[in-house]
A = this chain, B = another copy of it.
Amino acid sequence: MADDQRPGRGRRPTLMDVAEHAGVSRATASLVVRKSPLVSQTTRQRVEAAMAELGYVYNAGAARLRASRSRTVGVVVPNLTNPFFAVLIAGMEAVFETEDLAVILANSNEDIAKQAGFLKRMREHAADGVIVCPCEGSDRRLVEDAAKWELPLVQALRYVPETTSDYAGIDYREGMRDATERLIALGHRDILFVSGNRRHSARFDRLAGFCAAMEAHGFDAGGVVELRLTHTAARAAASTILDRQKRPSALLCFNDVVALGLHRGLLDLGLRLGRDVSLVGFDDVAEAALVLPGLTSVATRPFEVGENAARLLLRRIHAPAAAIERRIVPTRYVERESTGPAPAALDHGLGLP
């Protein structure tokens, strides 16, 4: 209640002051702030009253120095600007908030040196653990170093190949395989995978899903093109993308940024989406439902992935020797008007490539 400690008094009250004021020892006061069951009800109340009266503020730094835990976790993402990561972080934050853990956030900007720098800083701040969405070009040392340092680490959304750590992610492979199957079921044979130019597991898995479906049906999975992951790049690429020896009847995009850019680009060319050409995005961002015609997309649940990652980290912190766990959330195909049956076959009617 009364937090009107003398303002000019200079020094913030310490646990020592609280103890004195409550007529107990430092050690007992310490037990109270830590909510230990060892103190009696009456003592606890007396100390808490003293804390309120003096306007006591817990000094986490001092505690950390003596104790092992710091009640701090680190989060490193490669691109804060991307709304997808923002939601991911919101999911983590929601979990950590309930545990009273402070989240130290860092943006690696897909820069491996920066990422390493942040990990160093997290160690300096004695973070209890870190969640990393490894930036492009990360290698095994990321995980190995953390192990050496005994720093609990979970990977989220992406993983470094051949590493073993807890992992929370999305079933990119199955999501993309499913989407491909849907297109195939609509009669599409020449499907182009419009990928981003970044090399990481999230891209690799998606591509693998696409290839798996295509090859399962004996179709050519070679239709892959790479773009920068921006609306403008995708929009501008619309015309060149259709200019292939075998013109694709469907475009399967790495994510909705690419898909929405192409959406506009294709409309600019006078094409009818869902009729002349089918278009599928990935992530199912809110705007996918707003554009006309609506963009078919594969819904992912980044918030949930964030929650999973946070829970995995909590578990790892409490049980450093527990078995490795991977939590993969499934995707959901959301059909809208941008997809439709393949146009009547022209030059490729007989199923032979």
Q: Which residues of A contact B (CB under 8 A)?
A: 7, 57-62, 64-65, 70, 72, 75, 80-83, 85-87, 89-90, 93-94, 97, 100, 102-107, 114, 120-121, 123-126, 148, 231, 235, 260-261, 263-264, 267, 286-287, 289-292, 303
Contacts and interface: CB of A to CB of B under 8 A. Distances in A.
A290 B292 contact: no
24 contacts: A59-B65, A60-B124, A61-B65, A61-B125, A61-B126, A62-B65, A72-B125, A75-B105, A80-B87, A81-B87, A82-B86, A83-B83, A93-B105, A93-B106, A100-B121, A231-B287, A231-B289, A231-B290, A235-B290, A260-B287, A263-B290, A287-B287, A287-B291, A292-B292
Contacts of A105: 75, 89, 93, 103-105
Contact of A61 (B64, B235, B287): B64
Nearest to A75: B105
B125 A60 contact: yes
Contacts of A260: 287, 290
Given A65-B61, A290-B261, A290-B263, A114 B90 contact: no
Contacts of A87: 80-81
A74 to B, nearest CB: 8
A103 B73 CA distance: 11
Nearest to A263: B290
A97 B89 contact: no
Contacts of A107: 90, 93-94, 97
Nearest to A257: B286
Contacts of A286: 231
B94 A90 contact: no
Given A93-B107, A103-B104, A61 B57 contact: no
A90 B80 contact: yes
Nearest to A62: B65
B106 A104 contact: no
Given A83-B86, A103-B104, A231-B286, 4 more contacts: A61-B64, A61-B70, A97-B107, A231-B289
A223 to B, nearest CB: 24
A100 B104 CA distance: 13
A124 B107 CA distance: 24
Contacts of A94: 107
A95 to B, nearest CB: 11
A82 B86 CA distance: 8
A126 B289 CA distance: 45
A34 to B, nearest CB: 13
A194 to B, nearest CB: 16
Contacts of A82: 86
